[in-house]
Structure 1
């Protein structure tokens, strides 16, 4: 009997010891302070929100309002919305420098102070396109300053560089384990001297003559990212009509691997097309820009696209706004509803709600 009791005591001791030394279920362990725990449901796909805006300049009257009200003035309206996004992209329609002289014979030339870039950084911008018809307005020195100043304020860029290799390289932004590639091209180039070369700073083109080159660039970038956004400066200024040549290029880019096309340059908002389940925003319009006497030039949109790492689009919506004194402000109520109806009338094959 004593032996039996001894055996029972030993078995109880072993059971208690085992419970205290890690045989309990892993899910029952206490959380370690500061340790990240996953809240994802099994099989749930990660998604991110990519926000895109059009032309931004920090010159002339826009700069005067920023000096008067503070640099943060221009993004008081959209800034809070941008901070809710994972990635924000736009077109930097100006050189950022204190050097250089205006290009001779060019009607409009833009140059901004280096410290204005802090406002983009503070409002969640990830990268900008520099492939456009104004980034070299003040010459090569000012263009190189632009690249240096973007780096200083930790803003990535695409569409231009110190040489052709850098200009076509683009950039990759990673959020929530999703790699987003960003490339930029322009179909508006004032003079051929603006093109980047082997040992020459400049930008890269998107004319039909460049098709083989931009197709190859897109194909190569898509190998290294999950989602690919391609920015294109194109279109006829002042018109909502989408030209066939822009449609052809957009389709060609998506066929090559682009997931989202963000267009700008026309200074007006143009319609949206869905091609092979991929959105094409033909023109996002002006954004931070001089107020125009033509009302339609003062309308803008911020396009938001929700996408997963396979490039599947789960949601598209736009936030329309009005530009007054250089500052874009989101529309509300009836004004917003009326503009969405107007935009749906321009859209190729997509209905916004």
Structure 2
């Protein structure tokens, strides 16, 4: 049996030298036959901020070599920040990976490269891997030009075809997905159904990222789905040492003719270094799994309503109105004050409106929230 280590999001904006994993975590990673992380921002030093809604994130180029020293073999690039600084930054990231002999999938300088799956023969076990993300800035969707740089779209029909083709060629197929609402501990129903569909097509494992917090897992028709592995190393705050980022990674076990096995690897951050979590102080995976069972529909409805009222609806109004307004008297007065103080100078209304319409995650939440509201009327 071979083992693959898979963890969540990695961003290091304040790297100042030294390891990002302690000895025990580093030994766990290096002890596996192959290791994968989600490299959620391009390297720093090239490119310019691109028009988008939300923060622009890049990271120190040195972090990639540090990750390799810890034992990582592949970086996943299909995510909502990889194009924050344009084509030049993506190209520099790809060059750095090539220089270090690190595998990279999910993004590229053209559509063909971005959608190219990776097949690795690891000790005689042939594994096909796909990486794709929800529709955000930088996505290569139906309207992309063939020579356009960006990342693979998770809902593109090409992903479905790819799973089917890889299933014929490989012993196992893994889909690494980047999607969903951030900071909620359950997946949206639509993404849950999408991941299950990918398993129906032939994926043996689907591993999710993007929510920045851990979510549960489930066995589905002989396959495994991990809805979110949360953050692995995310040094992106004014005081990164104060953020412990409790979560889990997985060690996947592959043996020809047998179901995929897994072992959770619980971790957190101490003094800006990723450590193994002790049994009495770690992510409660059993609780997260239980949230996918009884009561899930109600939690999903509450989540959809909450994000719609808090973020989607006010921003829809902001993007459409010619004057500062979020749809409420109190909020609109705050918008006027913020505008007069210059705190809304960054707001690009057409870009914000496009983002809310283009992104499936917000569409799913808005649709469900308005359905529930209509039923109550």
TM range (shorter): 0.7 to 0.9
Distance 1:240 1:82 in 2: 25
TM (norm. structure 2) is: 0.71
Alignment correspondent of 1:138: 85
Distance 1:278 1:50, change over 3 A: same
Q: Does 1:149 align with 2:96?
A: yes
Distance 1:247 1:204, change over 3 A: same
Asked if the contact 2:125/2:171 (under 8 Å) is kept, the reply is: yes
TM (norm. structure 1) is: 0.75
Alignment correspondent of 1:102: 49
Distance 2:136 2:290 in 1: 30
Distance 1:135 1:75, change over 3 A: farther
1:1-353 alignment runs, 5 A limit? 47-59=1-13, 61=14, 63=15, 67=16, 70-74=17-21, 76-190=23-137, 197-207=145-155, 210=156, 212-290=157-235, 298-310=245-257, 312-313=259-260, 315-336=261-282, 339-346=284-291
Asked if the contact 2:216/2:285 (under 8 Å) is kept, the reply is: no
Greater Cα shift, 227-236 or 157-166: 157-166
Distance 2:292 2:244 in 1: 18
Alignment length (residue pairs): 291
Distance 1:174 1:219 in 2: 18
Distance 1:103 1:77 in 2: 39
Asked if the contact 1:300/1:323 (under 8 Å) is kept, the reply is: no
Distance 1:281 1:161 in 2: 25
Structure number with larger C-alpha Rg: 1
Alignment correspondent of 1:7: none
Listed one character per residue, the Cα deviations across residues 27-55 of structure 1 (whole Å, up to 9, x for unaligned) are xxxxxxxxxxxxxxxxxxxx111111000
Asked if the contact 1:172/1:181 (under 8 Å) is kept, the reply is: yes
Greater Cα shift, 303-312 or 185-194: 185-194
Unaligned runs of 5+ in 1: 1-46
Aligned Cα RMSD in Å?
2.6
Distance 1:267 1:286 in 2: 5
